[in-house]
Amino acid sequence: MRRSTAALTGILTGAVALSLLSACGSAGQPATGGQDGQGRDKVNAGVIAIVDTAPIHLGKAKGFFGKQNIDLTITPVQGGAASISGTVGNQFQFAFANTTSLLAAREQGLDVKVVANGVSSTGEPGKDFGAVLVREDSPIRSAKDLAGKKVSVNQLKNIGDTTIRASVRKAGGDPSTIEFVELAFPDAPAALTGGRVDAVWVVEPFVSQALSQGARAVSWNFAEAVDDLTVAMYFTGGGTDPDLVKRFTAAMNESLSYAEAHPEEAREILKTYTKIAPEVIAKINLPRWGTEINRESVQAIADLAQGDGVLKSKADVAALIP
């Protein structure tokens, strides 16, 4: 996976990358950042600089973390593999990663635990933040027609191809015949236009950009695959102080609620930590930022991933989300 891709989406991590985590420090040591001059707990959070993570930036700006006696530093990471390895190695006290990557980390024996929701699908085809797109003149008209076609995803064996397979299956197609190819999101529109692939899976801001240039959506895979899908979550290592976890979760939940209730402020905060053009920010489909994690959707993704061979055994969702 290219670093440029990982910097642009929260869904860019996978089980294959997690094999690198053996080089990390011990997860058994307490994760602590010390205290600042005002006696607040210093917390370093590893967060990908994408649309999905607007709430934590907005919450910091609004003082929600300070209210919980937390001096928050947000450190940009290239993707979920970096956030997981950084948390396991005690570089970060908290971090953000997608559901499939966290499930894979637990299966590999890494002591990561979810502390708050991160981002969820809107559940509305046509108004979600991830979609499968085709050229305007393509004969592909629906998810069913993706069977037998070459479809790009940002990373193989992760939440992208798993949800696409589920969408195709629900539409009556045979997902086993899809040829998935790994392609960075920024490169996907050109590959589609040039005919190197039949369809591309992208997330915002690439969905809005491609649609404005003539592409056509045939599947909104997050919305179609699993009802009320929890796409990514904030997590910590097993050694983090429980009181700090409680306070971080409270600040994060207030941040999520505020972003959900104030979408224009969420759009505005994107200008402070991403390079998305303002005219694109005004058009993109925002995800949902509710505080509730849909455990049923996490289990559904785990079961789908196991069926696809991404996970080798049935996931213990309760261990990941205490």
What pLDDT is stored for residue 32 in this prediction? Answer: 54
Cα torsion for 144, 146, 152, 156, to the nearest 10°?
60
Q: How far is 113 from 299, CA to CA, in rounded Å?
A: 15
Alpha helices in 122-216, H assignment, sequence order: 159-170, 188-193, 206-212
**196-215 exposure pattern, b = at least 16 Cβ within 10 A, e = fewer:** ebbbbbbbbbbbbbbbeeeb
Strand order in the sheet with 94-98: 70-77, 41-48, 94-98, 230-237, 112-120
- Dump pLDDT digits (tens) for 151-204: 999 888 889 999 999 999 999 999 999 999 999 888 999 999 999 999 999 999
* DSSP single-letter state for residue 288: B
Cα torsion for 171, 175, 181, 185, to the nearest 10°?
30
Q: How far is 22 from 44, CA to CA, in rounded Å?
A: 21
Find the helix or strand (DSSP H, E) in which 312 lies: none
Cα torsion for 96, 163, 13, 271, to the nearest 10°?
-50
Whether the CA torsion 42, 48, 53, 58 is positive or negative: it is positive
- Dump pLDDT digits (tens) for 246-300: 999 999 999 999 999 999 999 999 999 998 999 999 999 999 999 999 999 999 9
pTM for this predicted structure: 0.86
- Dump pLDDT digits (tens) for 182-191: 998 889 999 9
Candidates 198, 169, 207, 173; CA nearest to 51 is: 207
Find the helix or strand (DSSP H, E) in which 77 lies: strand 70-77
Q: How far is 105 from 99, CA to CA, in rounded Å?
A: 10
Q: Is the pLDDT of residue 90 over 60?
A: yes
Q: How far is 42 from 36, CA to CA, in rounded Å?
A: 6
